[in-house]
Structure 1
Amino acid sequence: MAPTAASRAGEYAARFAELLLRAEREALVRRPAPGVWSPLEYACHVRDVLLVQRERVLAARRTDKPVATPMGRDERVEHEGYALQDPAAVARQLTDAAALFGNVLHRLPPAHWERTLVYSYPEPAERSLSWVAVHTLHELRHHLRDARCRLPDPPAAGN
């Protein structure tokens, strides 16, 4: 699955972008419960995950076993104002972030898929770049599902 991660990340990002462009802003920013992210907040998180993971892959290519510092996922929601961002801009940024992440994966020589870094979540552990690619896809797929289930179903054709 790791060698196809670049193209699959682009596919998930495109689906997320479509969701952001077709849904009403009110639905995109609505939190279903306190402490549960809105669809727009999930999209911003996924965008940032792609950018952070890209930097982690690049660090592992430059340095032996770098330590991946936590991205501050919960702090970013407030620090970057996720709920206040423009959904169309986030859709574009998400697509761009997937392309940037995909580019570094496409450029990995076969031997580099097994280069490692120390990944901090859920507990510090040495992880291969292959694992990072697959884990990133899991994040995209999982959070796309999270965002979709928090939006109302689109109206049926003709309504």
Structure 2
Amino acid sequence: MPIIPDQKDWTWVLSQPCPDCSFDASTVTPATVPGTVESMLPRWRAVLRRPEVTERPDEDTWSALEYACHVRDVFALFDQRLNLMLESEDARFADWDQDRTAVEQDYAGADPAVVSAELTAEGKQIAESFAGVRESEWGRKGLRSNGSEFTVLTLAQYFLHDVVHHLHDVDG
């Protein structure tokens, strides 16, 4: 059963700490992202080994497996967006419907062991990409299809909140 889409504009986390997961964007730079991502990967792998990984806590909330699939895809998507921002002036990001992706890719029916390997690989890839960002590139810009503007710095902050928050969602 599909989850009701979250319609919130989460860009507010760039200006204030998240009351749910305690993430504070002001502490993040592209240089801190690689270590943070890499430190979360063993925690995600542990989540994916849980016996109840496929169980939804309620009908309106993804299972830990579905969250892990989403995070795997967030790693890949933000790696593409980061590289686009580094390669082109005023990059434009295509819209991504995460809820449609969850249904089309059958997140609920995924194999946790496969997702664990894929999430780890994608996490290592984006960590490597952020490790290569030079300080002079932090101000490069990109525009999301809804008009939200990001710099490489704010993209790093927004991205990291997403994966930290979802690890919090699954008690990882």
Question: Which TM-score band applies after superposition, normalised by the shorter structure?
Answer: 0.7 to 0.9
Q: 1:16 pairs with 31, 35, 44, which one? A: 44
TM-score (norm 2): 0.79
Counterpart for residue 130 of structure 1: 153
- Which whole-Å CA distance do the structure 1 matches of 2:89 and 2:161 have between them? 25
How many residues in Structure 1 have an aligned counterpart in Structure 2?
Answer: 144
Q: Deviations over 1:37-64 (max 9, x none)?
A: 1110000000100100000000011111
Q: Deviations over 1:102-132 (max 9, x none)?
A: 1111111211111110024xx4221111111
2:132 is equivalent to residue 104 of structure 1: no
Q: Which runs of 5+ in 2 are unaligned?
A: 1-27
Q: Which has the higher helix share?
A: 1
SS of the residue corresponding to residue 138 of structure 2 reads: helix
CA contact (8 A) 2:47 2:53 kept: no
Counterpart pick for 2:86 among 56, 61, 77: 61
**What is the RMSD of the two structures over their aligned residues, measured on CA atoms?**
1.4
TM-score (norm 1): 0.85
Q: SS of 1:114's equivalent?
A: coil
Cα offset for 1:35?
2.9
Q: Look up the SS of the partner of 1:124 in the other structure.
A: coil
For residues 55 and 81 of structure 1, what CA distance do their matches in structure 2 show? Answer: 22
Q: Tell me by how many angstroms 1:34 deviates.
A: 2.0
